[in-house]
Structure 1
Amino acid sequence: MERREVAAVLAYIGRLDPRTIRTGTNEVRDQLVQWHELLGDVPLATEHGWDVREAIRAHVLDSPYPILPVDVARKWRVYRRDRLDRHTDPTPSADPDDSASWRAELLRSRNAVAVGRVAPSTHRQIASGAPQPDIEARLAAIGSCIPPTVRAELAPYRPARAAREAAIAEGQPDALSVPCQWCHAAQGEPCRNRRVGLDGRALGNAPRVTPHPTRVDHARQEAA
């Protein structure tokens, strides 16, 4: 707050609690200097919940003691700490390789939240804001959020999915879109090699890379 704002705050406090009023010229000057020294970095009000008048009114109602500038400064520090505790840093738009710009943008974002200019970003999520302007064109070009080169590298680690994608690419029906009547695999789940012993106990339940032929026929009938 500036000196004139601190003077307005002191006048407001005097209306609520006459005990704080100073009449002597030197006392008024000293009081103004003291309050301005402690409240120089405290704003008068912000757009997101802070108003020094509310803090003063709450103190006058809750405490029998005259308010001191440190009381207001402590309330402001609590307000700042609460906002920063609820804030999660959104991903900066700066180049990550430019560490100076990246750090400067983070500091600007945190400072704007701390002083009440913007609301805290309380939820960390994959997309923190509007999507990139070229995301639609990139998805249309590659057809999926996973590039083809990455799919090829992942194929040895998920053979069932790779076989399913290859069959669909060849124009065959998606067998996993229907449940399997042979092994009773649910829709979307791969078929399994179920083996049962003579005593009725299961000897194997390993997933199959390719679906059962009856499931493929069922999917073809559903597609037709």
Structure 2
Amino acid sequence: MDRREIAALLAYIGRLDPRTIRTDQGEARDQLAQWHELLGDVPMATPHGWDIRVAARQHIRTSPYPIQPADVAQPWEKYRRDRLARHSDPTPSADPDDQAAWAEELAATRRAVAGGTVQPAQARAITSGQEEINPRLQARLDQIGSCIPPAARAALAPYRPARAAREAAVAQGLPDALSVRCEWCLAQPGEPCRRRRIGPDNGVRGTTPRATPHHCRQDLATAQQAQPTGQTQQPAPA
């Protein structure tokens, strides 16, 4: 605020609390200089929610003590902190190789947000995937058929045998056994079948994933694939 805005603020406060009025010209000049020195960087109002008159009126309404510059500066600092806490830095448009321009644009955006002239940039939430895909990405997916290139998929096959076997079966037109629940090991759809580890006392000590599904699971997937659309086969009890 400049000196004229400070004078207008003091006149507004004097109407609400006559105790702050200075009748002596020298005292009024000193009061104006003091408030301008302490509140010179505080705006009168911003486009997004800050109004210094509201902060002054709130103090006069709730406190029995005469208002001081700190009673206005504290709400302003709280307003700045709240806006910066809700701000997520957007990617600057400057060249990333120009570190000075990149940092300056980032700092300028933060100053504008803290000063109330720009709304905080919210972080984008995770969506359900229904948004339109970038055309370049869609063209690449159409070309390779998957987000994982074939060479990378082949290199990963030894480290995930169950998924590799499932993908090979689907590629050959065979039914996807992992799309149904296994009635033998109770593996849920999408999970690989598991092999029981039996101890010397014939007790189950644990389970390990199988590279291939159980035969009963394959049979169930084949039977479901052969059914007409809209019918569901009830699995036989194990």
Measured against the shorter chain, the TM-score band is 0.7 to 0.9
- Residues 119-166 of structure 1: per-residue CA shift (max 9 Å, x gap): 445657568xxx8x9734303422444454544444343332233223
| Structure-2 residue corresponding to 1:30 | 30
Question: For 1:1-224, what aligned pairs fall within 5 Å after superposition?
Answer: 1-92=1-92, 94=94, 96-121=96-121, 135-142=134-141, 143-196=145-198, 199-203=201-205, 205-224=207-226
SS of 1:171's equivalent in the other structure is coil
Distance 1:97 1:159, change over 3 A: farther
**Does the CA contact (< 8 Å) of 2:197 and 2:208 recur in 1?**
no
SS of the aligned residue for 1:23 comes to coil
What is the Cα deviation at residue 178 of structure 1?
Answer: 0.4
| 1:193 aligned counterpart, secondary structure | strand
Structure 1 residue 186, shift from structure 2 partner: 1.2
Report the Cα distance in structure 2 between the residues aligned to 1:145 and 1:15, rounded to whole angstroms: 68
Whichever residue aligns with residue 33 of structure 1, its letter is A
Q: Is the 8 A contact 2:196 2:204 kept in 1?
A: yes
Quote the Cα distance in structure 1 between the aligned partners of 2:137 and 2:159.
26
Does the 8 A contact of 1:139 with 1:145 survive in 2? no
Alpha carbons of 1:186 and 1:78: their partners in 2 closer, same or farther (altered >3 Å)? same
- Cα distance change on mapping 1:139 and 1:217 into 2, 3 Å: farther
Aligned residues: 220
Structure 1's unaligned 5+ residue stretches are none
Q: Residue type of the partner of 1:107?
A: A
CA contact (8 A) 1:88 1:124 kept: no
Deviation at 1:211, TM superposition (A): 1.8
CA distance in 2, matches of 1:50, 1:164: 60
Q: How far apart, in 2, do the equivalents of 1:148 and 1:98 lie?
A: 37
CA RMSD, 1 decimal = 3.0
**Shift in Å at residue 189 of structure 1?**
0.8
Q: TM-score, normalised by structure 1?
A: 0.79
Output the TM-score relative to the length of structure 2: 0.75
AA aligned to 1:215 is R
